[in-house]
Homo-oligomer: A and B are copies of this chain.
Amino acid sequence: MALDHRKKDILKVIVDDYIETAEPVGSKYLVSKYHLPVSSATVRNTMSELEQQGYLEQPHTSSGRVPSDKGYREYVENLMQVEWLPPEEARGIRMALTEQVNEISTLLRRASGVLSETTGYLSVALPPQAQSSQLLQVKLLMIEPGRALIVVVLSAGQVKDRIVRIPDLLSAEDLLKISQAIEANLAGMKLKDITFVAVQSAMQATSLPESLLNQIMYEAYTAIKQSDNLDSYLNGMPNLFAHPEFQDISRARNVVDKLSQEGLLFGLLDRQWESERTSGQLTPQPSDLPENQADQKRGPTTPGEADCKPCRYMIRIGQELQSEGLEDCSFVTTTYTLPGKLMGFIGVLGPMRMNYSRVISHISFVRQTMDDLIARSARLNRDSQHKEQ
């Protein structure tokens, strides 16, 4: 069932061209534009076979062919060439990401912004799955009697705060006691391992009257548990409208609708999360990790950029997204890593006809740069900690 050489060549050229022009491609046009060493009739026969095998579709009789989901899948797995980023562009991206970044949230905002700008599609960046983060600190600050600010600091520099109601009688000292007790008992635990009972028993160590504690216990627990509810960064919505597949307003609306739904992106990425953990196959097709095509090995253009190679990424095409309204879209995602086996996601969403090669090289580079920055910052901290001792 594998495709012979000619079929591969022709399929590749068809997808390349369709990505470029958004027009169904025909046999004669193909031969003349790409100087194929065969006649249009031969191409026609090949196309016909590719169609029978499900790699191509015909919008209507007597029109050119268009890649099917399966065709794109074959293309991204075996046919396309991922180009390296031109060094100027790489330098620009690196600078944009490096400047003035103290927090992971700033880095994510930048990453998303850069991706949408350089690819011309929609991009999204999600903070690490905080459920696996460790709790580092919990602080309770009195705002005014009856209201306190609870600040939860997680590993990898994630911070979440929220205001909670507390019993009027609690003093600033009580709050200090409570937060110290929580920290003493829960610091270092993973968020997902923290239970209500754990919070309860931690707080009982404060020897404060139980009646007071009862009122704040639940607030503290939910504040801690929900601190994974961090912000996602989405950029480039207007970019989508530039592509011909979204000229039809109803499609555009479907997509915007979907993307506005809180939680949808998390859902999509959870699936990747799953498949990363089990490092197994994806449901629709074994799609992950096409990281080692032979034709990709030609080196980078500058030695300085040598440390960026295409990395683990996942591509979901059309139906594979299993999301009504996104049938015409593809989603390329990858994960960045933080110390402590934490992972977060960045992704680019565009029409199925997106320039996969371009997107992959950009997202790879952004991911690599993020990993570098994070690692460097972690190293700096380790060093300075070392120095202190």
Contact = CB atoms under 8 A, between A and B. Distances in A.
A145 B256 contact: no
A319 B359 CA distance: 39
- Closest 5 A/B residue pairs (Cβ): A241-B253, A238-B257, A168-B384, A103-B163, A102-B163
B151 A141 contact: yes
B146 A151 contact: no
A112 to B, nearest CB: 12
A146 B237 contact: no
Identical copies of this chain, number: 2
Given A238-B253, A241-B252, 17 more contacts: A102-B147, A102-B165, A103-B162, A103-B163, A139-B141, A141-B151, A145-B384, A146-B380, A149-B153, A151-B151, A157-B163, A161-B161, A168-B388, A237-B256, A246-B249, A249-B249, A249-B252
A238 B256 CA distance: 6
A381 B238 contact: no
Contact of A157 (B103, B143, B241): B143
A237 B238 CA distance: 11
A241 B249 contact: yes
Nearest to A165: B102
A257 B144 CA distance: 41
Contacts of A163: 102-103, 157, 159
A10 interface: no
Interface of A: 102-103, 136-137, 139, 141, 143-147, 149, 151, 153, 157, 159, 161-165, 168-169, 235, 237-238, 241-242, 246-247, 249, 252-253, 256-257, 260, 380-381, 384-385, 387-388
Nearest to A136: B143
Contacts of A146: 380-381, 384
B143 A102 contact: no
Contacts of A237: 237, 256, 260
A151 B144 contact: no
B159 A159 contact: no
A103 to B, nearest CB: 5
B145 A385 contact: yes
A147 B157 contact: yes
Given A163-B157, A168-B384, A168-B387, A149 B147 contact: no
A241 B249 CA distance: 7
21 contacts: A103-B162, A137-B143, A139-B141, A141-B151, A146-B384, A147-B157, A147-B381, A149-B151, A149-B153, A149-B159, A169-B388, A235-B260, A237-B260, A238-B256, A238-B257, A241-B252, A241-B256, A246-B249, A249-B249, A249-B252, A252-B252
A234 to B, nearest CB: 10
A105 to B, nearest CB: 9
B137 A141 contact: yes
A238 B261 CA distance: 10
Nearest to A162: B103
B149 A143 contact: no
A84 B52 CA distance: 63
A326 B84 CA distance: 40
A256 B387 CA distance: 51
A145 B385 CA distance: 6
